[in-house]
Structure 1
Amino acid sequence: MKFVSIIKPFYEKLPKEFRYRCNYRELKVSDLIILACMLARIDLHESSESHFHQMLVASGIVVPERSRCNRRCRKLKDAAKPIRLWMLKKFVHEPAYEIIDSAPITLVSARRSNQAKVLRSIANKGYNATKKTYYYGFKLHAVMTNDGYSVNWKLTPASIDDRKAAIELLSKSPTKYVLADGGYLSRPLQEFLKRTYGIHLWFPLRKNMRPSDQTNPAFLKNQQRHIETAFNNLNTVSHFEHPGTDTMNGLDSRLSTIFLWNVIKAHEQLQHGRSGLKIND
């Protein structure tokens, strides 16, 4: 698999306590192969774990039986996260600006949202302004560079206001210019980020708002479409808006793999002179 050679140099940076853990010699399939399979599932746009496992077996790829393979994938999310960060450190160099946005993750259909019990202690009911409908689940917040690299992400209950998640995400932002849509429209937030972190948050202004020193609103709207396109592309590939999982461990593993795949794919696109924001080909 092509992903083995890509992630191997970064996997070898993981602590020896993880790579050479108890009974590691008895593993019939290495962590690298499992990680590569997780990335290949995203690359093949496969939403079903069981169907993808059948595909691997039918292709002659040696993998553990399905339930054990799924458990291995869940555990390897702790490897996917640092690997992604090391890749970002190597690939991303002073982006011109970043874009922040959110997307819904639906756990059950809208008509069952009032009776939903899946992850009830964490998930809740929220409103999707784009589709003008209520849903039950989570909200995925992500920060993306203008080149298409997802540099940070956070999962919150569906009812959380975008502006509340913005501070935590942007406090770790490597750039000082961030574009946002109307969901982040807040003068106090804008002033707090500038005063505390030196971050200039740009968002479309309402007609009754006083002019500011931010750049051309038409430019902001045009650039904001980039992350909307990237979110749509990422959902087309990975189906993250309807993950089909009922555990936080499974959802976290899925998202960690998706964003690792995003970094690899965006870098590959840029290396070939294509846009890193269009990764669903």
Structure 2
Amino acid sequence: MQRQSNNFRPKFSDEECITIYLWGISQRGFEQKVICQYTKNHLLEWFPKLPRYQEFSRRLNLLAPAFQALSELWLDVVIRHSGNEGNYIVDSCPIILAKGSRSGHAKIAGELCDKSYNFSRKEWYYGVKLHAFVARHAGRLPTPLGLMISGAASHDLTAAKQIMEDQHPLDPGLLFADKACIDATWADLLKKDYKICILTPLKKRKEDTIHSGDAFSTFVSSVHQPIECFFNWLNHLTNIQTASIVCSTAGLLLHIFGRIATALATLIFNS
């Protein structure tokens, strides 16, 4: 957060700005202008020093690091209160700034974003990936244990290795992943260092006449499915995957971490 001096105290505080944005996202007001206008029309008694939209937006962008810090803090709270059954899942979802024909010309936040092909959506897009490492729970939403942002073109295996290295000490168990994470050397390392066995769908070979691995692959995919539920829940709550109105690096970081913080706060207060 930027300050002019140690004695600088704006009439409209950072705490108020953060509160309004988190509340607005949780109420599905996904655009800053919508959040600012609703606050002006209905909540001005609580926030009498609310500035004009342009200043509100500028302040939010400056506060992007604060939302990242809140996300890290609240993720630790979620982890501490989560039960661990020894079943983990890792995967990623896209955060899209531009797609289709526009993806080849987009340049916003170029130090963070790449162009890549999304096979599940069958489309090219420009943006980043949100990688999630979660604990699977029977009958309820998975608990995020680690979250990481990478360029859209980054390989899921590279990100999975990094996100695992950054984890707190983990209980032994099973890690379910997709075919992108097939790597014999990494699998051996997980067994040795973490006492975790990674399970992925089997790669089918052209010479196979009987697909003997189909039942196993179906099992792994079914156990892996809850992370898709997590991404769907996150996107429904915050619209995190749609970042087409972002116009700067600071705006992208605000978009990502403001929404992650909103989701984590929801998990904490509804647990």
Q: TM-score range by the shorter chain?
A: 0.7 to 0.9
* Post-superposition offset of 1:80: 1.4
Q: Which residue of 1 aligns with 2:127?
A: 137
Query: One-letter code of the match for 1:29?
Result: F
Map of 1:193 onto structure 2 = 190
| Secondary structure in structure 1 of the residue aligned to 2:163 | helix
Aligned AA (2:52) = E
Q: Does 1:252 align with 2:253?
A: yes
- Residue 223 of structure 1 corresponds to which residue in structure 2? 223
Deviations for 1:227-270, whole angstroms, at most 9, x for unmatched residues? 1122122112222222221222222222222222222323444x
Q: Does 1:94 pair with 2:84?
A: yes
Change (3 A) 1:246 1:191: farther
Q: What is the aligned partner in structure 2 of residue 42 from structure 1?
A: 25
Q: What residue in structure 2 maps to residue 56 of structure 1?
A: 39
Which segments of 5 or more consecutive residues in structure 2 lack a partner in the other structure? none
Tell me if the contact between 2:71 and 2:264 (Cα under 8 Å) persists in the aligned partners: no
Give the structure, 1 or 2, with the largest relative contact order (CA under 8 Å, sep 6 or more). Answer: 2
Larger mean Cα displacement after TM superposition, 72-81 or 151-160: 72-81
In structure 2, the residue matched to 1:23 is: 7
Report the Cα distance in structure 2 between the residues aligned to 1:256 and 1:73, rounded to whole angstroms: 12
TM-score (norm. length: structure 2): 0.79
Please identify, of 35-44 and 187-196, the stretch whose mean Cα deviation from structure 2 is larger: 187-196
Residues 77 and 263 (structure 1), Cα distance of their counterparts in 2 relative to 1, 3 Å cut: closer
SS in structure 2 at match of 1:159: coil
CA distance in 2, matches of 1:202, 1:256: 30
Give the AA of the match of 2:199.
Answer: W
Larger Rg: 2
Q: CA 1:89/1:120 → structure 2, altered by over 3 Å: closer, same or farther? A: closer
Q: CA deviation at 1:183?
A: 2.5
2:57 to 70, 85, 90: 70
Give the drift of 1:78. 4.5
CA distance in 1, matches of 2:79, 2:102: 43
**Partners of 1:105 and 1:137 within 8 A in 2:** yes
Corresponding position of 2:117: 127
Residue 91 of structure 1: CA displacement?
1.9
Is 1:148–1:266's contact at 8 Å kept on the other side of the alignment? no
Alpha-carbon distance, 1:126 to partner: 0.5
Three-state SS of the structure 1 residue aligned to 2:93 is strand
Q: What are the Cα deviations for residues 166-196 of structure 1, in whole angstroms up to 9, with x where unaligned?
A: 1110123343432212222232332233334
Are residue 33 (structure 1) and residue 37 (structure 2) matched?
no
Superposition pairs of residues 82-121 of structure 1, within 5 angstroms: 82-121=72-111
1:55-109 deviation digits (Å, cap 9, x = unpaired): 1111133233323323333322254134314423542243532221111122123
Structure 1: where are the runs of 5+ without partners?
1-16, 272-281
Q: What is the number of equivalent residue pairs in this alignment?
A: 249
Instruction: Identify, as 1 or 2, the structure richer in strand.
Output: 2
1:148 to 128, 142, 145: 142
1:182 aligns with 2:165: no
Percent identity, aligned pairs only? 22
Please give the per-residue CA displacement for 1:122-162, whole angstroms capped at 9, x wherever unaligned.
Answer: 42211101012211222221122225332222221111110
SS in structure 2 of the partner of residue 119 of structure 1: coil
Match for 1:71: what amino acid? R
The alignment's TM-score, normalised by the length of structure 1, stands at 0.76
Letter in 2 for 1:233: W
Contact preservation (8 Å) 1:163, 1:189:
no
